[in-house]
């Protein structure tokens, strides 16, 4: 596996700038997750690294070598897209074997069998190995697509929302498996997702893209606890961070326009009055919807709380984040 570097990469489509001077180092063995809303440039970043598309300016290095002008095959990258892409006339086993069967690799059949069986087990498709690819459900086809990438040993895996078409249980299983595979094999991954749990649990680093610019790059914890802006703060956290006028609470710094409070950073039992408008019991936690000085906010509380809608409770902020008028963090 290899370190991948993007240096001042810009990509335009007509007058639209999809990637704007993006520089990023994806360390060898890291699991980098790109976050951002639709159109932020996540897929475009993957396509630049893969060689499916080329930047207008800037350079990309894989394992210390510039890959300018190299095809995806020459770059030795493995890609998994949101939409499965299998050879329909081949069986599941043949699809999984395909990347290993290249005459150049000369992989012995015994090694191929071992790898295919191991990956099929991880992806829970061993019982379907002899089925035609077309005789599978969408989720099974997607698992075969992931398997086809995983049997290889590329410089980097590029994955674009690979788990989004799977049901919740399978997604949770494969999240753990993918992370295990990465931790064990030291694979380098560049991964796009909209799923915050995937981002928080799998990533070693998170890159936050905003309209084609990389606005923050750091560990999930850094991005969660020390976001550079309101925009970055709202990329992570479920329920979302509460963003309120700074003056609602005492002690805001001079230039602060808004205060960001993660739901768990609203302390109950002291401070000022808030009205409980709704109580949501989710099993492992309970969410309280509050109205505070005519603003709505959400906090979390003990799962066995006896709070009810209509009650008044006292709240005060803990670990507040302050942002200026432009939404940039100042404290």
| Residue 119 binds ligand ATP (CB under 6 A) | no
- Find the shortest distance in angstroms from Cβ 329 to ligand ATP: 23
- Find the shortest distance in angstroms from Cβ 74 to ligand ATP: 22
Binding mask 64-103 for ligand ATP (x = CB under 6 A): ----------------------------------------
Contact predicate 275/291, CB 8 Å: yes
- Find the shortest distance in angstroms from Cβ 70 to ligand ATP: 20
Contact predicate 272/250, CB 8 Å: no
81 vs 98, which CB is nearer to ligand ATP?
81
136 vs 206, which CB is nearer to ligand ATP?
206
- Find the shortest distance in angstroms from Cβ 235 to ligand ATP: 12
What does the alpha-carbon distance between residue 189 and residue 329 come to, in Å, rounded to a whole number? Answer: 29
Token pair for 98: 């395909």
Instruction: Produce one character per residue of 15-45: b if its CB has 16 or more CB atoms within 10 Å, e if not.
Output: eebbbbebebebeebbbbbbbbeeebbbbbb
42 vs 115, which CB is nearer to ligand ATP?
42
Token pair for 183: 């931790």
155 vs 193, which CB is nearer to ligand ATP?
193
Around Cβ 186, how many Cβ atoms within 10 Å? 10
Contact predicate 12/58, CB 8 Å: no
- Find the shortest distance in angstroms from Cβ 283 to ligand ATP: 30
39 vs 253, which CB is nearer to ligand ATP?
39
Residue 43 CB partners (closer than 8 Å, separation 6+): 160, 192
- Find the shortest distance in angstroms from Cβ 132 to ligand ATP: 30
What does the alpha-carbon distance between residue 329 and residue 321 come to, in Å, rounded to a whole number? Answer: 7
| Residue 165 binds ligand ATP (CB under 6 A) | no
78 vs 209, which CB is nearer to ligand ATP?
209
Contact predicate 145/138, CB 8 Å: no
- Find the shortest distance in angstroms from Cβ 56 to ligand ATP: 12
| Residue 51 binds ligand ATP (CB under 6 A) | no
Binding mask 8-47 for ligand ATP (x = CB under 6 A): -----x--x-x-----------------x-xxxxxxx---
Q: State the helix-helix crossing angle for 138-150 and 168-185, rounded to 10 degrees.
A: 0
What does the alpha-carbon distance between residue 195 and residue 178 come to, in Å, rounded to a whole number? Answer: 15
- Residues binding ligand ATP (CB under 6 A): 13, 16, 18, 36, 38-44
């Amino acid at each position: 596996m290899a370190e991948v570097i993007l240096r001042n990469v810009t990509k335009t489509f007509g007058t639209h700038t999809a990637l704007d001077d993006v520089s990023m180092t994806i360390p060898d063995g890291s699991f980098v997750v790109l976050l951002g809303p639709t159109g932020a440039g996540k897929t475009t970043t993957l396509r630049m690294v893969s060689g499916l598309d080329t930047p207008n300016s800037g350079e990309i290095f894989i394992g210390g070598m510039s890959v300018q002008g190299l095809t995806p095959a020459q770059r030795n990258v493995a890609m998994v897209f949101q939409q499965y892409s299998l050879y329909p006339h081949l069986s599941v086993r043949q699809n999984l074997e395909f990347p290993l069967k290249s005459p150049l690799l000369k992989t012995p059949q015994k090694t191929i069998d071992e790898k295919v069986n191991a990956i099929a087990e991880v992806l829970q498709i061993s019982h379907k190995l002899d089925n035609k690819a077309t005789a599978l459900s969408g989720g099974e086809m997607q698992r075969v697509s992931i398997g086809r990438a995983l049997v290889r040993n590329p410089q980097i895996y590029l994955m674009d929302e690979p788990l989004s078409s799977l049901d919740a249980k399978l997604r949770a299983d494969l999240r753990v498996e993918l992370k295990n595979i990465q931790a064990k094999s030291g694979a380098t991954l560049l991964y796009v997702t909209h799923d915050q749990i995937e981002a928080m649990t799998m990533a070693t680093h998170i890159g936050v893209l905003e309209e084609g610019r990389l606005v923050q790059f750091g560990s999930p914890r850094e991005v969660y606890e020390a976001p550079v802006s309101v925009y970055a703060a709202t990329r992570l956290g479920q329920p979302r961070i509460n963003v309120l006028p700074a003056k609602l609470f005492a002690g805001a710094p001079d230039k602060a326009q808004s205060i960001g409070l993660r739901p768990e950073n609203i302390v109950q039992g002291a401070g000022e009055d808030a009205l409980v408008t709704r109580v949501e019991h989710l099993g492992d936690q309970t969410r309280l919807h509050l109205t505070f000085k005519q603003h709505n906010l959400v906090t979390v509380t003990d799962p066995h709380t006896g709070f009810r809608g209509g009650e008044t409770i006292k709240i005060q902020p803990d670990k507040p984040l302050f942002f200026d008028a432009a939404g940039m963090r100042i404290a």
